[in-house]
Amino acid sequence: MPSGRNDRDSRVVCDMALRQKPELDQVFMTDSKILERIILLSGIRKGETVLEIGAGSGNLTKLLAKKAGKVIAIEKDVSLKEALSAVLAPSRNVRLVWGDALEVLSEGRLRFDRIVINPPYSISEPLVKALFRQKFRAAVLTLPWRFVERLSANPEEPAYSKLSLFSQAFFRIETVLTVPMSAWSPRPPADGAVVRLTPRPRPGARERLAMELALQEDKKLKNALREALVRISKSTKRKARAGLEEAGIPGKTLDRKISEIPTAEFLAALERAGALLG
């Protein structure tokens, strides 16, 4: 019986499946048609560098390597190191980075043109927030359907939140494909959707205000607003402070961290602060 590369690859993939770790929210996309559709939707151009988070079994990574000039694939699970390295050995334009993707991104050392990822559903929100600080042409992400509804919700919809506001300030958000649970192994608890995030080239003053506040969620609103107004309007701290006093934002709101302020209360404060920008 012949024994070639395909046999070895099958054994490697099977071995990787046996090592999957539920505690890492680890699932592998196995639907080849959806993988190919994701590649098509990503719009990768010749010579571009693509970032992937959660290389897993390497199914998506191999397809990316055929299109991109270079692929940077981040994987947290070091137990996959030997098997994944073997799967990707023929793809000489792939660089594997081992570590927590959120930590790696926070270091700001990677340079890439596009992002194409099927991340663990559990990191959807921190991952999108991490992308606020990254520079790229476009990102294609597979995310839980309900989370996508939050990202793209309008202010009139119940799902609208500060995350919706911040994400839409940074990106144009398009839902381009639905992904059933059956596309994964093992199946995740919910259907997903592929979204395309395109950075806004010329955000207006109020969008810039929301963007500034999104990057300062751990600060009190009064401090974050003052710094944002100084950067956007190029005024002095003294003028920014005086403007905030005139804006009539309640003191109890100003003294709370942005992350702790309820959406409706935050939107009211943002409206008043935005009026200072004209």
Question: What pLDDT does residue 189 have?
Answer: 82
Residue ranges in the chain whose pLDDT is less than 50:
1-15, 18
Question: What pLDDT does residue 215 have?
Answer: 97
The dihedrals phi and psi of 196, each to the nearest 5 degrees, come to -115, 125
Question: What pLDDT does residue 20 have?
Answer: 54
Q: pTM, whole model, 2 decimals?
A: 0.88
d(CA 11, CA 217): 46
Domain 24-199, what fold?
Rossmann fold (3.40.50)
| CATH 1.20.140 is right for the domain spanning 205-277 | no
User: Which residues does residue 194 pair with via DSSP β-bridges, in sequence order?
Assistant: 142, 177
- The residue extents of the domains of the chain are 24-199, 205-277
**Fold agreement between 24-199 and 205-277:** no
Question: What pLDDT does residue 100 have?
Answer: 94
Question: What pLDDT does residue 134 have?
Answer: 97
d(CA 201, CA 256): 31
CA distances from 64 to 58, 88, 116, 172 (A): 10, 11, 8, 23
Closest CA to 54 of 39, 42, 72: 72
Question: What pLDDT does residue 19 have?
Answer: 54
Question: What type of residue sits at position 18?
Answer: L
CA distances from 89 to 65, 83, 116 (A): 11, 10, 20
